[in-house]
Structure 1
Amino acid sequence: MATFDFNSINSALTDTSKLETGVDFSGKSLKLDTEKDAQPIIDAINACPNLQYLTLTGNTLGVAAAQAIAKALEHHPELKIARFSDMFTGRMKTEIPPALSALGEGMITAGARLSVLELSDNAFGPIGVQGLAKLLQSDVCSQLQELRLNNNGLGIKGGRILAEALSASPRKLKVFIAGRNRLENDGATALARVFQDMGTLEEIAMPQNGIYHKGVSALSEAFKHNPNLSCLNLNDNTISSKGAKAIANVLPGLKKLKSINFGDCLLKSKGAKALAKAFKDNSMLLESVDLSFNEIGREACMEVVEAVTALPDATDRLSRVVLAGNSLGDSTNKKTMKDKLGPSAELSDGDCSDHEFVSGSESGSQSSEGSDDEEESEDSAPEDAQHINTIVELSREINLDSSGIEEVKTDVDIFLKSPTIENLTRLGTNAADVIDTHLQVIKDPSDLITAYVEATFSVSGLSEESQLAHQVALDLYPIMLKRAGQQHASAWLLANTMLRGLGLIKSENKQYRIRWKTSGCYRMLAIAVTSPTFPVPLRDTLRFFIASRLTSLADRTIVEQHPQLYTS
């Protein structure tokens, strides 16, 4: 007869470390701009003695609110799970890095050790990764098992920054999710090198990233070094037959692989056959296979079915085999496939299943399936080419009428177009007021803020050579801040424009160019930020970006002479 140790049971129930407790504010659509706005979350964090998780998904967080929440986190070293997805809706991209950095600093100060970090559906791009870099490199992420960065707009640059951050110290991730990020070949290759060093990955999901066979080949080499890989999702990339061959070559070492999603990857028949052969030759115990919409011919589709059902337990083991959108052949072929696959079959009659895709050995007119022309076509991007052609055609139809454009006439216009000491001198000793009067006629808030920032920087750039410019720049700063403050959503329009003008972020306008000496701008900014009227959030944002870029700044020597620009 079984006996029960009631003391052990009572101890387990009273030991809070065994229970997963935390704070969940998910889906409340809160707009958190200030510390006051964030107070309910802060109170909940402070009231939770064992903060195992914090979930802020579905709210929108500003810098001041993030800093306040970070202060509360400093007292919770037990934090294991941070769910921060969909947390910056409606925020300027320059707000996000300092907000992320602040939350990271709170966890670093606490000495927390995260196991899960979820940041999906935050369109923070490459500069957002810079806000994460210190956290990812810190001991807070030394035990991280799951990193979820789906739909963040990382791009190639963001992928490289992420790879660099993860490679700074050995990491042993089990789950890596980064779909819909346009990582492309270069970003995927950078991450592949990190994956290879990890060797612990069990799930990799990188769908919709614009990765072609070169990036897939690099990732395949990394897969080989992660023998516990059980789930692999590269949906909607261009794997092609070359990439499929690279993956097929490493499949023998992936004995634990259960789920594959290569849907919409332009595998074609040749790629499908390469995978099918690897499945069959290595007796893989797959449970879910998605090869839908890959322009696979009926013969290759049948080879895939034969491969995944080769082992006796296939019917019981397989939960999902998706071949919809390929050429499945006539009703007899489809019935054969369904009989072999059983309930797992997802063949979707009508989804191109009756259309025969002709490629490779299934075409009597082609001598070789592996011709260079075929591979070249697989790695092309026809949709991009069509888009470019459309733009060209539209541009030809546009008739630009310049008859109403007047030439620059005023002294202010002349100075702003060509910021020289001579042109500034023409404006007189009260140049700041003259410029202010000239710019106030601008109606659009974004244009007005841009004009004031560019005017201030044009003058500041001359401050190292001219005492007049030095004084006018000092006069312009409070005017610029006042005029910007009168506009809607001014805080982050102003921050974004100043960061762009200082060369700390790239402009989205290809024609944008810096017409002033940034060294003088940094010198004048160093004076301006010490003023008690200088907005604290703007100062903190500027400091964050300057500090994060300090080592690569062309004006590093000058900036380092003014610690107020990059330290609190």
Structure 2
Amino acid sequence: MFSFDLSSISTALLHPGRQASGVDFSGKSLKLNTEDDAKPIVDAINACPDLQYLTLTGNTLGIPAAKAIAKALENHPELKSARFSDMFTGRMKTEIPPALAALGDGMIQAGARLSELDLSDNAFGPIGVEGLAKLLQSEVCSELQELRLNNNGLGITGGKLLAKALSASPKKLKVFIAGRNRLENDGAKALAVVFQNMGTLEEIAMPQNGIYHVGISALSDAFQVNPRLTCLNLNDNTIGPKGAAAIARALPKLKQLKSINFGDCLLKSAGAIALAKGLKDSSMPLQSLDLSHNEIGKDACMEVVDAISSSPDSKDRLTRVTLAGNSLGGAANKKVMKDKLGAAAELSDDEGSDDEDEYVSDSEEPSEGSDDDGSSEDSATEDAQHMDTVLDISDMLKTSDAHAVESNVGEFLLKPTIQNLEKLGSDGAVLIDTHLQAIKKPENLIQAYVEATCCVSGLSDQSPVAAVVARQLYPLMVQRASLQWLLTNELLKALQLIKSEDKAYRVRWYIPACYKVLASQIEEAYFPAPIRETLKFFISTKLPVLEADVKSVVEGYRNLYT
């Protein structure tokens, strides 16, 4: 997989003959606290006669530094692209709104007209939206085409505040990205109203947001009035059969839709059948469809295949159809599917058998108490969800079982050395697995499994025992993780692909060796496709700025990023 600078391409297309120019400090890991700290960036901005883009990704910005940069921006009305992702690591949440507001004020003073604003991977939560509101409501964003707010911890409150800010003045967005934000039904419904008034959206990506069918239905109504949609990603939300039926009603109006990702959305057979009907009734130029890990039975899978392969040009048009992790039936069934889909078929990770369709409970809708009374755990407010602090693994062990800390397993997890691991013998993975299951809270359990797996993986270069135990721990970790989005997040943190919000988070493992073990497991049948794709995306994106020893290892295992 290769990483393209889409905004630079867009700028070049909008201004033929004009070479995109700007200032790029991405990945420098600069800690910019004071005005003096920001001087290299300020000088670069002042020296750039045609500042079409400013990229500060991968640095950390305090209020005085932000104000200094903002002052420099006041002289650049030509600015089109502000790439401010991963820019506040280690900052207090009270620092972020003033810093964002200062940067916004600089662009407002300049009279700039942004086409792209990227603030992804900044954990500013609802309070951060308050710092953005003035900018989003200003003329600076009147021509905004791409808004990227992935992994910002917005929560329901942040989603509503964002919707309010976007509604203050007409917007003509083409791209809206807001994955991993816990928006849930209420946040999704608020944004759906905004989308209803746009009509210009071409790409919507809102994966891993805890949205159930009520929020999905509201979004589906908005999709219908955005007929230019080409890409739709709702991966790892709970669409369910009811949400699928709502989306199916919208599909015939989306005649330009090329890519659909509804992986890990608990569609079940009833939902897949509803989508199949919608796909069959539409004339969209579909190229990519992901319905992986949805508890879909073999007959329903076949209906989907029939629906998307019915047109004569389907084999030439389809590039990727992922049904892995569903019950596909026996070899004969899969051969029929492959014959109809051609090279686009991705049917691995099959959880079915030759004779049985194991997903038969299609009449049962997933539990959605949040849709009625807000009483389910999934629908709790972000404040309630974050009352419990994610503990350090040693603290988890102490609170789970005081005696376990004194055991060989506890000793290894507290002090992950080769000597302590080898005390566990050939059953190390089983012993660690049994030990960690004493942890009751899902978020603590998942963090503990990821950290234990990485502690073992980090020793794999030096110990054959560690290499074996690490490979055995991976499927156990996946099996125990009840929340795929959280497992993905913990793996990204452990591999240093995103930065942790927790200042106490410690990497206690040798990362290059961890990538080697991951490379041996990432294509295995048990490995969830959504997590695989997310890891590959982040690795490919971060590859140019990885530490030299990590980059060297990753480049030797192309399956990690292609």
TM-score, normalised to structure 2's length? 0.63
Aligned to 1:69: 69
Contact between 2:326 and 2:350, CA under 8 Å: does it hold in 1? no
Query: How does 1:306-321 map onto structure 2 within 5 Å?
Result: 306-321=306-321
- Structure 1 CA distance, aligned partners of 2:186 and 2:72? 39
Aligned to 1:562: none
Q: What whole-Å deviation, never above 9, does each CA across 1:272-308 have from its counterpart, x for those lacking one?
A: 0000011112233210000000000000000111111
Contact between 1:326 and 1:353, CA under 8 Å: does it hold in 2? no
Contact between 1:149 and 1:178, CA under 8 Å: does it hold in 2? yes
Aligned to 1:250: 250
Contact between 2:327 and 2:351, CA under 8 Å: does it hold in 1? no
- Structure 1 CA distance, aligned partners of 2:77 and 2:352? 55
- Structure 1 CA distance, aligned partners of 2:330 and 2:178? 39
Q: Secondary structure at the match of 2:283?
A: coil
Contact between 1:324 and 1:353, CA under 8 Å: does it hold in 2? no
Aligned to 2:25: 25
Match of 1:377 among 367, 372, 394: 367
AA of the residue aligned to 2:83: R
Distance change in 2, residues 1:222/1:353 (3 Å): farther
Aligned to 2:358: 357
Q: What whole-Å deviation, never above 9, does each CA across 1:330-357 have from its counterpart, x for those lacking one?
A: 1111111111111111111455576733
Aligned to 1:120: 120
AA of the residue aligned to 2:131: G
- Structure 2 CA distance, aligned partners of 1:318 and 1:21? 37
Identity of aligned residues (%): 74
Aligned to 2:413: none
AA of the residue aligned to 1:377: S
Deviation at 1:358, TM superposition (A): 2.8
Q: Secondary structure at the match of 2:197?
A: helix
Distance change in 2, residues 1:241/1:259 (3 Å): same
Contact between 2:83 and 2:119, CA under 8 Å: does it hold in 1? yes
Aligned to 2:434: none
AA of the residue aligned to 2:176: F
- Alignment RMSD: 2.6
Contact between 2:352 and 2:358, CA under 8 Å: does it hold in 1? no
- Structure 2 CA distance, aligned partners of 1:16 and 1:310? 41
TM-score, normalised to structure 1's length? 0.62
Contact between 1:129 and 1:161, CA under 8 Å: does it hold in 2? yes
Contact between 1:17 and 1:50, CA under 8 Å: does it hold in 2? no
Contact between 1:208 and 1:235, CA under 8 Å: does it hold in 2? yes
Contact between 1:347 and 1:353, CA under 8 Å: does it hold in 2? no
Aligned to 1:278: 278
- Structure 1 CA distance, aligned partners of 2:76 and 2:155? 34
Point out which structure has higher relative CO (alpha carbons under 8 A, 6+ apart). Answer: 2
Contact between 1:85 and 1:121, CA under 8 Å: does it hold in 2? yes
Query: How does 1:297-312 map onto structure 2 within 5 Å?
Result: 297-312=297-312
Aligned to 1:335: 335
Query: How does 1:101-250 map onto structure 2 within 5 Å?
Result: 101-250=101-250
Structure 2 unaligned runs (5+)?
Answer: 1-11, 389-395, 401-562
Structure 1 unaligned runs (5+)?
Answer: 1-11, 361-368, 399-568
Q: Secondary structure at the match of 2:99?
A: helix
- Structure 2 CA distance, aligned partners of 1:17 and 1:104? 29
- Structure 2 CA distance, aligned partners of 1:105 and 1:317? 46
Deviation at 1:19, TM superposition (A): 1.8
Distance change in 2, residues 1:384/1:155 (3 Å): closer
Higher gyration radius (CA): 1
Contact between 1:240 and 1:378, CA under 8 Å: does it hold in 2? no
Deviation at 1:101, TM superposition (A): 0.4
Aligned to 1:450: none
Deviation at 1:16, TM superposition (A): 10
Contact between 2:221 and 2:250, CA under 8 Å: does it hold in 1? yes
Q: Secondary structure at the match of 1:342?
A: helix
Aligned to 2:496: none
Alignment length (residue pairs): 369
Q: What whole-Å deviation, never above 9, does each CA across 1:468-507 have from its counterpart, x for those lacking one?
A: xxxxxxxxxxxxxxxxxxxxxxxxxxxxxxxxxxxxxxxx
Deviation at 1:230, TM superposition (A): 0.8
Query: How does 1:36-75 map onto structure 2 within 5 Å?
Result: 36-75=36-75
Q: What whole-Å deviation, never above 9, does each CA across 1:13-56 have from its counterpart, x for those lacking one?
A: xx998221000000000000001000000000000000000000
